[in-house]
Amino acid sequence: MDTKSRVERQFHADLEELTQTAELVLAGQEAEVPSKWRDVSRFDDVVCFDYGGWGFGPSTRYWGVNYVADDRLAGFQGMSLEGAVPDGEGWLWEEDSGDNRCYVEWLAPCWYYFEMNF
């Protein structure tokens, strides 16, 4: 099973707990990281749930889901995806002068899968 499929399966299994955690984090309260997820962090109005990562230095990849309160397109750690283009079932942002790229795909209202490559 590929990375996206694993994350998506875990996301649907944990959706209620993830939503409750995102709401606590957005309210400025402490929240436990749901089991099976590596980390939860807030970037303005985006709550990032890291599921996995791999690599070292300039060859690093992260994947997980974002809760975006206003359901706008946002990438890894809430980054702007201005200039993202449709790609398969989602959108792809690529850095103009480098090799950084972020893929996002809508999962449910306010929820997006992300995969960031550095």
Mean pLDDT of 47-54: 95
Domain that holds residue 22: 3-117
Predicted TM-score of the model (pTM) = 0.92
Mean pLDDT of 102-115: 98
**Tokens matching residue 44:** 């303005």
Say if residues 87 and 73 touch (Cβ distance below 8 Å): no
**Model pLDDT, residue 77:** 94
Into how many domains does the chain fold? 1
Radius of gyration of the chain (CA): 14
Percent helix, strand and coil across the chain, each to the nearest 5:
25, 45, 35
Mean pLDDT of 67-73: 95
**Model pLDDT, residue 74:** 95
Q: pLDDT tens digits for 37-46?
A: 999 999 999 9
pLDDT at 55 over 90: no
Question: If pLDDT is split at 50, 70 and 90, which confidence band does 16 have?
Answer: very high
Burial category of 2 from C-beta neighbours within 10 Å (exposed 0-12, middle 13-18, buried 19 and up): exposed
Pick from 29, 40, 30, 14: which is nearest to 108 by CA?
A: 14
